[in-house]
Amino acid sequence: MNTQRIVSFDGVELAVHRLAPNGGQGRPVLLLHGLFSSAEVNWIKFGHAQRLADAGFEAIMPDLRSHGASDVPQGEESYPPDVLVKDALALADKLGLQAGEFDLAGFSLGARTSVQAVIAGLRPRKLVLGGMGLEGLGEWQKRSAFFIDAINRFDEIRSADDPAYMAKSFMRTMKVDRAAARLLLLSVRDTPPSALDGITMPTLVVCGADDNDNGSAPDLAAALPDATYAQVPGTHMSSVTEAAFGEAIVSFLKA
């Protein structure tokens, strides 16, 4: 494992963690983690990056802007519309990821960022969308409002009966900068269903059996031109910790 810092389109530095297979050569897989999380939590801690490396892939795992070890800018100018998409495109360019010669995978917010990056012109060989449903793309503002409410009421949320309690707990565990997180959430835009027609590469939609946080994953798979659906155990928070999650990704990318 090695970590480098890459300057994005606007000067913000992003931490990028890389795990290559034995011998050092492998098809690159760009992995984008979820909201309030990090590359360590979503891809490294539970063995998914290692599974990819063992299968001959190189796992390339940035910490998203304002997450993990990446910069946490404070000004509104650092969060233009679709800033995470701009970061993904900048990273692909700086890393030399050529069209059709790398794969792209994302979980939750990373999945919707992956979708928007493909719509914006990124061309992976294969695409993996984890923990994402059709409504989570087209009705993002509803999902975003939930997290912004959790940020606004952070100090008031005390009971596990509060729907935002888990979000607060995760933000506290991950030491999230809430002011930056609010700006980031406001930068993300809806993806209209009609835009999905442009996602023509083979796609895997993988989701927990009890994960409905972002709507229907089977409906998302059905709406994409060339997609398959894989169900793994767990909820939205737990599915990404399951070995089956990483195994589904490896199986799809190797096929």
The reported pLDDT for the residue numbered 46 is: 98
> What pLDDT digit, counting tens, does each position of 73-127 carry?
999 999 999 999 999 999 999 999 999 999 999 999 999 999 999 999 999 999 9
The reported pLDDT for the residue numbered 33 is: 98
- The answer to whether residue 245 sits within a structural domain is yes
- The answer to whether residue 106 sits within a structural domain is yes
Domains identified in the chain, total number: 1
- The answer to whether residue 183 sits within a structural domain is no
> What pLDDT digit, counting tens, does each position of 184-240 carry?
999 999 999 899 999 999 999 999 999 999 999 999 999 999 999 999 999 999 999
- Examine the pLDDT at 22 and tell me if it is beyond 90: no
Reading the block at residue 7, the tokens are 């300057």
Reading the block at residue 135, the tokens are 């409504």
- The answer to whether residue 41 sits within a structural domain is yes
- Examine the pLDDT at 25 and tell me if it is beyond 90: no
- Examine the pLDDT at 41 and tell me if it is beyond 90: yes
User: Residue 90 sits in which domain range?
Assistant: 2-138+192-254
- The answer to whether residue 72 sits within a structural domain is yes
Give me the mean pLDDT over the 175-192 stretch: 96
- The answer to whether residue 28 sits within a structural domain is yes
Of residues 203, 44, 209, the one with CA closest to residue 127? 203
- The answer to whether residue 105 sits within a structural domain is yes
Q: Residue 118 burial by CB count (10 A; 0-12/13-18/19+): exposed, middle or buried?
A: buried
CATH number of the domain to which 224 belongs? 3.40.50.1820
Per-position DSSP letters for the chain, written without gaps between them: -EEEEEE-TTS-EEEEEEEPPTTS--EEEEEE--TT--HIIIIITTSHHHHHHHTTEEEEEEPPTTSTTS----SGGG--TTHHHHHHHHHHHHTT--TTSSEEEEETHHHHHHHHHHHTT---SSEEEES--HHHHHTHHHHHHHHHHHHHTGGG---TTSTTHHHHHHHHHTT--HHHHHHHHHH-----GGGGGG--S-EEEEEETT--TTS-HHHHHHHSTTEEEEEESS-HHHHTTSHHHHHHHHHHHH-
Mean per-residue pLDDT over the chain, rounded: 97
- Examine the pLDDT at 13 and tell me if it is beyond 80: yes
- The answer to whether residue 96 sits within a structural domain is yes
Share of residues in the chain with pLDDT > 90 (%): 96
Residues 6+ apart with CB under 8 A from 160: none
